[in-house]
Amino acid sequence: MIYTVTFNPALDYVVRLPALELGLVNRTESEEVQLGGKGVNVSCVLRQLGQESVALGFVAGFTGKAIEDGLAQRGVRTEFIRLPGGLSRINVKIKAAAETEINGLGPAMDGAALEALCKKLDGLRQGDVLVLAGSIPRSLPGDTYEKILARLEKKQVLCVVDATRELLVNVLKYRPFLIKPNDHELGEIFGRTLSGDGEVRQCAEELQRRGARNVLVSMAGRGALLLDELGGVHRVDAHRGSVKNSVGAGDSMVAGFLAGYLTTRDYAYALRLGSACGSATAFSDGLATRAEIEALMGEDV
């Protein structure tokens, strides 16, 4: 089974307008409510690909109930921990001449809540997949990802970590199955701006040396690069299309990679499917659908 963890899932209120004028009343041309959170996105795209998953994390208030109901409607199983106070966050995504985001804070989580999550994770078994994606809320310790991976270290769970800077670097000693930085995040880790595949590969190889089994680097319009644990180097170019949405593209790539790998054990195919999923989301107003993914793959998935 695949388990995704979203510490701070959200409702994303997406509004579209010709231009955003500060200090004035702005009227939208359209609006919609989407489910938000990196792990939530992974679970939703996995469902499109026919892969079952369990979405874990924390919810609170009426917004938390709406998140649970929305995932149930999409066929995603949830086992969120309900917090006694606060509200799951509402994020405002403004799509005008440029994209602007106002992200909510979300409910406070304490040590007891974290331990309740860890006890759920104690039930994972060899061969299960755990996806840890995104930042850690300020109310939790900064080493939360490390503690989770340390707790699972002997269970032979396939751990996927999609995080930035120290959050990512500090878990490498636990040999995560997959990490997925983008090229800018990869450069931040090493304090440099990366130009060209050679520099990206050099930094990705260093993260492998530090413990990552597979390193998948997304590079937006330049495609993606994968260094697999067997010594293979795989490269795909970006798909051609009009980018409408940057939210969830990286999460969609993670979902596609996992679905491709788990069904074929073929890293090259997993990269192709991951790339198609990421692009399909980028070319859509929301998360990719199966039909959109298959159109980019040129085949059934």
Q: What is the pLDDT of residue 195?
A: 83
Strand partners, 3: 54, 130
What is the C-alpha separation between 231 and 213, in angstroms, rounded? 10
Residue 149 lies in a domain: yes
Residue 197 lies in a domain: yes
> Side chain identity at 23, as an amino acid letter?
G
Residue 42 lies in a domain: yes
Give the structural domain span for 118. 2-7+38-63+109-297
Residue 144 lies in a domain: yes
Q: In sequence order, what E strands does the chain have? A: 2-6, 10-16, 30-36, 53-59, 77-78, 81-82, 89-95, 99-102, 129-133, 158-162, 178-179, 214-218, 224-227, 233-236
Q: Which residues, 6+ apart, have CB-to-CB distance to 273 below 8 Å?
A: 49, 256, 257, 259, 260, 293, 297, 301
Residue 129 lies in a domain: yes
Residue 286 lies in a domain: yes
Catalytic residue among 12, 128, 183, 251: 251
Q: What is the pLDDT of residue 301?
A: 65
Residue 83 lies in a domain: no
Could you confirm whether 251 is annotated as catalytic? yes
Residue 185 lies in a domain: yes
CATH number of the domain within which 159 lies: 3.40.1190.20
Nearest residue to 177 (alpha-carbon basis) of 117, 228, 135, 251: 228
Domain total of the chain: 1
Q: What is the pLDDT of residue 117?
A: 94
Average pLDDT per consecutive 10 residues, the chain (301 residues; last block may be shorter)? 95 92 92 92 96 96 96 96 94 88 89 92 93 88 91 92 88 95 90 85 94 93 93 92 83 96 96 95 90 85 65
Q: What is the pLDDT of residue 141?
A: 86
Tell me: the pLDDT tens digits for 4-27?
999 999 999 999 999 998 999 999
